């Protein structure tokens, strides 16, 4: 009997605490999941408007396959109902994990705008990849963008100081979006 008090009662109490905690977490998740989904969809819509600001609306989500993977994209529609560009979400491995990037590509195949959606890089270095001063370098560039540590060339961007891996990851994600553009449009550029 003494052994049960020593080992059994604490084990049962611990089990009950874990069981109640798990139930409360499941209930919290069930209550908050729809709100989280709604906020995520709203944030993505706002990001689409930022990377393709001349669009009045966007098509329903479409799928394109490239190298055995499926990617979602949207067509930006102007006030006359014409497609003025495309919005792609891509990701690449950065220094601190995956970097998700949304890229607006004009109908002529040039980058309209870029926005980071997910970025977990080093503060003060790689996190600067979300700054407009870095992202604006991509405007007007075409497929095959490179990263330069010195003076950028014609289809090149200037790397972030101390964050070359991050710069290459963002550039890779933008280049992936431009390849998806080619897949969607049949290679027209």
pLDDT in tens, 24-38: 999 999 999 999 889
* pLDDT over threshold 90, residue 109: yes
Distance from first CA to last CA of the chain, Å, rounded?
81
- Please state which of the ranges 45-59, 75-89, 100-114, 116-130 shows the lowest mean pLDDT: 116-130
* pLDDT over threshold 80, residue 146: yes
How much is the pLDDT for 124? 82
Distance CA 153, CA 155 (A): 6
Please state the pTM of the whole predicted model: 0.79
Pair type for strands 146-148 and 156-158: parallel
| Residue 85 included in any domain | yes
Into how many domains does the chain fold?
Answer: 1
| Residue 181 included in any domain | yes
| Residue 26 included in any domain | no
How much is the pLDDT for 122? 83
Q: What is the DSSP letter of 127?
A: G
| Residue 178 included in any domain | yes
Q: What is the domain range of residue 134?
A: 52-185
Query: CB of 139 within 8 A of CB of 111?
Result: yes
| Residue 122 included in any domain | yes
How much is the pLDDT for 76? 95
Distance CA 137, CA 105 (A): 14
Confidence of residue 170 (pLDDT cuts 50, 70, 90): very high
| Residue 105 included in any domain | yes
How much is the pLDDT for 142? 92
| Residue 40 included in any domain | no
What mean pLDDT, rounded, does the chain reach?
A: 89
| Residue 41 included in any domain | no
Confidence of residue 1 (pLDDT cuts 50, 70, 90): low
């Amino acid at each position: 009997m003494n052994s049960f008090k020593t080992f059994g009662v604490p084990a049962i109490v611990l089990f009950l605490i874990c069981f109640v905690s798990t139930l409360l977490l499941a209930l919290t998740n069930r209550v908050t999941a729809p709100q989280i989904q709604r906020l995520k969809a709203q944030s993505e819509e706002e990001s689409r408007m930022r990377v393709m600001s001349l669009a009045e609306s966007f098509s329903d989500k479409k799928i394109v396959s490239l190298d055995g993977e499926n990617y979602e994209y949207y067509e930006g529609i102007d006030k006359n109902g014409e497609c003025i560009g495309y919005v792609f979400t891509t990701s690449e491995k950065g220094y601190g994990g995956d970097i998700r990037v949304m890229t607006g590509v004009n109908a002529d195949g040039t980058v309209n705008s870029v926005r980071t959606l997910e970025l977990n890089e080093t503060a003060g270095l790689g996190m600067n990849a979300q700054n407009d001063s870095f992202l604006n370098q991509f405007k007007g560039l075409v497929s095959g963008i490179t990263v330069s540590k010195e003076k950028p060339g014609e289809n090149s961007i200037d790397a972030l100081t101390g964050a070359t891996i991050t710069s290459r990851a963002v550039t890779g994600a933008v280049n992936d979006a431009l390849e998806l553009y080619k897949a969607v449009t049949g290679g027209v550029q």
